[in-house]
Structure 1
């Protein structure tokens, strides 16, 4: 997709940034799409990590209900491993109070994000 092409171009051009913000569309509309979505999230975040200066911040988000926060964190760990980077999770973001979650529909808790320092 276009953002991956642009991120690769930045990488090829030697660009580096203090902060990268990644807020992609829903990659996993269902659990059945999770394998493909995990690869897409991993590749996107790997590229984001590679563009950061040492100590840079990656703010990354997901609105896919099929990827819960723990799954999203695992995908980011794989991205860091593939990028050859050590990372620290500084903050976890959850959907705001005006997006309540029904106990009968835990998939309603779909907004999540992480602020990560790339060492």
Structure 2
């Protein structure tokens, strides 16, 4: 089993990616929408990050993509579906099909 871990600014890393594909990606950016007023800007950023990360999943064999948000504004809008809609739109922009396997919420000790 070959593992590689990358610790970098994800926007920079994805922009300089030269066609390298991965079997698994965990996308866990910092809080991008600290309040509802930052939601539009954060939505665009989440869309582009998810789109670019989805493009890095191996198109021939598929893979596992886990994406996260710790922005309550993203997870509370539209009955909790807003973030899922952003990810779905990102997959369409990436021209990739995704299947939702699971949705988790923050641990009770995580302050919002």
TM-score by length of 2: 0.81
May I ask how many residue pairs the two structures share in their alignment? 99
Give the one of 3, 21, 24 matched to 2:10.
3
Give the distance between the partners of 2:33 and 2:107, measured in 1 at CA: 21
How much is the aligned-residue C-alpha RMSD, in angstroms?
A: 1.7
- Structure with higher strand content: 1
1:49 maps to: 54
TM-score by length of 1: 0.76
Runs of 4+ in 1 over 3 A off after TM superposition: none
2:84 maps to: 73
1:95 is displaced (CA, Å) by 1.6
Secondary structure of the corresponding residue to residue 101 of structure 2 = strand
Give the distance between the partners of 1:38 and 1:78, measured in 2 at CA: 11
Give the distance between the partners of 1:91 and 1:58, measured in 2 at CA: 11
Give the one of 22, 26, 36 matched to 2:41.
36
